[in-house]
Amino acid sequence: MDIGVCLPTTVPGADGAQLIEFARRAERLGFHSLTVVDRVVYDNYDPIVTLSAAAAVTERIRLTTAILLAASRPSTVELAKQLASLDRLSGGRLVVGVSSGMREDDYTATGTDHASRGRRLDAMIEELREVWRGEGPVPGVGPRPVNGDIPIWVGGHSPAGLRRAARYGIGWISPGGPPQKYPEIVNRVKELWAEEKRDGSPRMGANCYVALGPGGKEAATEHMMKYYSYMGEMAAHLAKGAISEESTLRDVVDGYAANGCDELLLLSVTADPDHLDRIASVVFR
């Protein structure tokens, strides 16, 4: 199983120098991918801009949006151009993870419709690929992706989200949860994959918050209670799921690997690049 790590773009106070060092160190330590999450109405960095900066200071590590709220972007053509540009700048290292998201205010802020976001996302995925082929509503928009296309990975727990992953994506990304519950989703995605007559097997991913070291549990609670404040009491439940012990992280990594996960994406609750060394000492031993 591959291990990726999320750039701490949503951590309050994270500065540019920390994010750049985070990216450099993630590659040096051997992580498979460098990921970003997406929010509009929050004090976070834009995911595409941040990955562009990361592309400039890395050479091999895969760059992944996990997840991009693509349907909240007003222009599909503009988004296609931005993503293709990032893919070219990185030498073809981009994977575009997408989901419809939950928060209505992210859509209100960009002037897009929240209620129809699922249908819009389906249409956008098809249009993104048309633009990358040099077609689309106005043919000739460039640049072209390095390999002619960009892999699209899909998240979302709803039946529509799982179907979208099987129909359009390279696979599915879980937002989190215990590894013991993962196999039932793996099996469901594989069933849908077969119904869509897709070749091969879906790539299965999962996200997990990590806060190792002294004060890790408190740091996770503070960060996640703020980031998920819109979820009310559920935010406290999510915060309890953050991993603050090395032995627990090792068990979770082993559990996901045994239950059908192809790539585990670890989200650090701190912008301190030294946290990556703690994580790497556990997951790569």
pLDDT tens digits, 201-252:
999 999 999 999 999 999 999 988 998 888 888 888 888 889 999 999 999 9
CB contact at 8 A, 19 and 53: yes
Cite the beta strand spans of the chain per DSSP E: 2-6, 33-36, 62-68, 94-98, 152-155, 171-174, 203-210, 263-268
Q: Is the pLDDT of residue 285 over 90?
A: no
Domains of the chain: total: 1
183 part of a folded domain: yes
What are the residues whose beta carbons fall under 8 Å from the beta carbon of 83, sequence distance 6 or more? 48, 94, 96, 128, 145, 150
1 part of a folded domain: no
In sequence order, the β-bridge partners of residue 162 are: none
CB contact at 8 A, 211 and 192: no
Would you give the distance in Å from CA 22 to the centre of its chain? 16
Q: What does the pLDDT read at residue 178?
A: 85
Pairing of strands 94-98, 152-155: parallel
120 part of a folded domain: yes
CB contact at 8 A, 90 and 36: no
Above pLDDT 90, what percent of the chain? 86
Q: What does the pLDDT read at residue 77?
A: 97
173 part of a folded domain: yes
pTM above 0.85, yes or no: yes
The amino acid occupying position 91 is G
**The domain spanning residue 272 has which CATH number?**
3.20.20.30
pLDDT in tens, 66-107: 999 999 999 999 999 999 999 999 999 999 999 999 999 999
104 part of a folded domain: yes
Domain encompassing residue 269: 6-283
In this structure, what token pair is assigned to residue 145? 């992706």
30 part of a folded domain: yes
